[in-house]
Amino acid sequence: MSAQTLYDKLWNSHVVRQEEDGTCLIYIDRHLIHEVTSPQAFEGLRTAQRQPWRVSSVVATADHNTPTDHWDEGIKDPISRQQVETLDANIKFFGALAYFPFKDKKQGIVHVVGPENGATLPGMTVVCGDSHTSTHGAFGALAHGIGTSEVEHVLATQTLVAKKSKAMLIKVEGELGAGVTAKDVALAIIGKIGTAGGTGYAVEFGGSAIRSLSMEGRMTLCNMAIEAGARAGMVAVDQITIDYVEGRPFAPTGATWDAAVEYWKTLVSDDGAVFDAVVELPAADIEPQVTWGTSPEQVVAIGARVPNPAAESDAVKKNSAERALQYMGLSAETPITEIAIDKVFIGSCTNSRIEDLRAAAAIARGRKKADNVKLALVVPGSGLVKAQAEAEGLDQVFIAAGFEWREPGCSMCLAMNADRLEPGERCASTSNRNFEGRQGQGGRTHLVSPAMAAAAAIAGHFVDVRQW
Amino acid sequence: MKAFTQLNGLVCPLNRANVDTDAIIPKQFLKSIKRSGFGPNLFDEWRYLDHGEPGMDNSGRPINPEFVLNFPRYAGAQVLLARENFGCGSSREHAPWAIDDYGFRVVIAPSFADIFFNNCFKNGLLPIVLPADVVDQLFRETEAGDGYRLNVDLAAQTVTTPSGASFGFDITTHRKHCLLNGLDEIGLTLQHADEIKTFEAAYRARQPWLFVE
């Protein structure tokens, strides 16, 4: 057999049947569910009087609508509450392998909860009605977001109708500089290939800089694959992957573990495997990144200035840049380090894991948030991350620095709960999207790493963590 | 799902690249547990001058007269003409639901984000990719005068302008068949239930650790 890419192996091992035009039925191993994109799917099952094919594939949690404070008061917004209660009722009625409801000690963001419980394993196909499902590709899994009709389709048939994508390799060789994180790698890649650069591709991240990343870092990177247009991002399995999975609640044990590990070790691209596209980015060229516009591709290094749209030759890009500057309330040529901020958000499925909180706490330790920063919010990705952080005393570091330490959830990444920006407010955010209105109508988002966000909170404006 | 066969529809030009799903339907409207009723909140933050929340009476809200959807000449449009990477961002199917509920049946752009593109087909909404220079031409012609309509024929896979210029577009056989006939994809897949069961049994034997109960 000719050399295969990791994507070839994952795809081929899940094809149930293939039509003449290449449309396939792909078997789905893990179905993650949250409250926002599932109610209509469950309703569809009920209406058609269908049963879920294999409920033991389902792991569910409530994350988008849940508040991050005053849990004793429940969910105040009646529409949010109804959506969360609808998920409670649907899981109770149909069943699941595991459900982490609002207030459960293991509740949290679905893309944090899955991996930390071993519900995401190498070699799996993982889907969820959420575009950031690409996160799980960090485990050498084929993982991507789906729409609600597909949620219903997977529930009813355990399969997805799909055509194979093209394969792209994004190679980052070398050593990342101090203060440069997986988030900066992700933003630098998006800056290079654009938000549609990965459209139609499944992306494998490779190279020595990627192999040296922790699982948390790999999850951050794969999480942002969708911001480059790629539905799926993935990293080959290695010892770091296997060590992370071992001992987690839904991971295999004993002889089954040994058999699983033997298989998982094959989940790498073969030598000589051919990709449809290869992008290379030397690790040494990557600096801490800050977005300046309303698309993740509108990003520059911390030492740069806000670009001048006049220098853009492409008419559509020029128009987008002008519109972005107007929305962001920024002038061309302003040094990034002179941009003052109003709020800081440390959290989201991109950057709310223990390593992220440690990095932010290391910056905040012994310092105070700047007076012009109205709110610095730290929202752990899950109850387990929160407990771990508290065991390490990180909560006290943040509180002493004037940050707020909250309960887990999606929070101000998309502002479906009460955590949001007011019109015109500027935020240094560790989340994944700087779209207009994403963090609240009229809010202005700058995407950065956790360390860069914490440093901005202390300084009151963006600063280079490498000079901290 | 409703079928799509042929349409002669008024065109509305949305001249922005990278229109994301947060812009198409802002997050506060995702709290609904229904599939319908999103049309009045399509492009909510661009379309109205105030802040929209679910349950509001949208008929009394202040309209943004500068937003193209509010131009009287585009009232009743069924074809949305857009720029590159339309529908990027989240997987929310509420985006095609809102576009469909508003009355659009076709979206034409030089490129779409993958998940959005896929979601359209599940809802009888036809996304069409045409070359950037053709899309440029359609923008010019749409903006040049009132009442610009396009004829979209799915069976023939063509988009035809009022002057008779015709452009072909690609679609997979599977999607075309489902759209033309308005087929329930789950019902279609369940016709292969035995194949899924056979696959599952063999797969389970190979990787039993994936089948923890």
How many Å lie between the alpha carbon of A218 and the closest alpha carbon of chain B? Answer: 20
Query: Which two tokens mark B44?
Result: 């909510």
CB nearest to A146's CB, from B91, B189, B193: B91
Contact B22 A435 (CB under 8 A): yes
H or E, element range at A447: strand A444-447
Q: Could you tell me if A130 and A145 are in contact, meaning their C-beta atoms sit under 8 angstroms apart?
A: yes
Task: Return the residue of B nearest to A124 by Cα.
Answer: B210
CATH topology (fold) of A6-277:
Aconitase; domain 3 (3.30.499)
Q: Please say whether the beta carbons of B11 and B138 come within 8 A.
A: yes
What superfamily in CATH does domain A289-467 come from? Answer: Aconitase, domain 3 (3.30.499.10)
Q: Which two tokens stand for residue A453?
A: 């966000």
Q: Evaluate the CA torsion angle A355, A356, A358, A362 in order and state its sign.
A: positive
- Give span(s): CATH 3.30.499.10, chain A: 6-277, 289-467
**Which chain B positions have a beta carbon within 8 Å of A25's beta carbon?**
189, 192, 195-196
Mean pLDDT across A418-422: 96
Tell me the pairing of strands B106-109 and A426-429: unpaired
Tens of pLDDT, residues B79-135: 999 999 999 999 999 999 999 999 999 999 999 999 999 999 999 999 999 999 999
- C-alpha B181: how far from chain center: 18
The SS3 call for residue A421 is: coil
**pLDDT (tens digit per residue) in A213-235:** 999 999 999 999 999 999 999 99
Q: Kindly report the CATH number that applies to the domain delimited by B6-182.
A: 3.20.19.10
Question: What is the 3 state secondary structure string of chain B?
Answer: CCCCCEEEEEEEECCCCCCEHHHHCCHHHHHCCCCCCCHHHCCHHHHECCCCCCCCCHHHCCECCCCHHHCHHHCCCCEEECCCCECECCCCCHHHHHHHHHCCCEEEECCECHHHHHHHHCCCCEEEECCHHHHHHHHHHHHHCCCCEEEEECCCCEEECCCCCEEECCCCHHHHHHHHHCCCHHHHHHCCHHHHHHHHHHHHHHCHHHCCC
| Residues B2-24 pLDDT 10s | 999 999 999 999 999 999 999 99
Give residue A400's pLDDT band: very low, low, confident or very high (50, 70, 90). very high
What residues contact residue A49 under an 8 Å CB cut-off, 6+ apart? none
CB contact under 8 A, B31 and A65: yes
Distance CA B9, CA B147 (A): 9
3-state SS assignment for residue A21: coil
Quick one: which H or E segment has residue A390? helix A383-391
Residue B28 touches partner A, C-beta closer than 8 Å: yes
What residue in A sits closest to B176 (Cα-Cα)? A21
Residue of A nearest to B115 (CA): A146
* Digit-coded pLDDT (tens) for A5-33: 999 999 999 999 999 999 999 999 999 99
How much is the pLDDT for A468? Answer: 85
User: Are β-strands A277-280 and A232-234 bridged in parallel, bridged antiparallel, or unpaired?
Assistant: unpaired
A265-287 pLDDT, tens digit each? 999 999 999 999 999 999 999 99
Check pLDDT > 90 for residue A1. Answer: no
Question: What gap in Å lies between CA B175 and CA B183, rounded to an integer?
Answer: 10
E strands present in A324-403: 343-346, 375-378
Q: pLDDT grade, residue A316 (50/70/90)?
A: confident
**CA nearest to A242, candidates A111, A116, A353, A122:** A122
Residues of A in contact with B37 (CB under 8 A): none
Residue A339 and residue A373 in contact, taking contact as beta carbons nearer than 8 Å: no
CB atoms inside a 10 Å sphere around CB A49: 6
Looking at chain B, the whole-number percentage of residues with pLDDT higher than 90 is 98
Partners of A43 on chain B (C-beta within 8 Å) are 33, 35
| Shortest distance, CA A78 to any CA of chain B (angstroms) | 10
Report the candidate in B1, B12, B26, B184 with the shortest Cα–Cα distance to residue B106: B12
At residue A315, the pLDDT reads 87
Residue in B27, B93, B113 nearest the CB of A199: B113
pLDDT in tens, A143-192: 999 999 999 999 999 999 999 999 999 999 999 999 999 999 999 999 99
Q: What is the pLDDT of residue A101?
A: 98
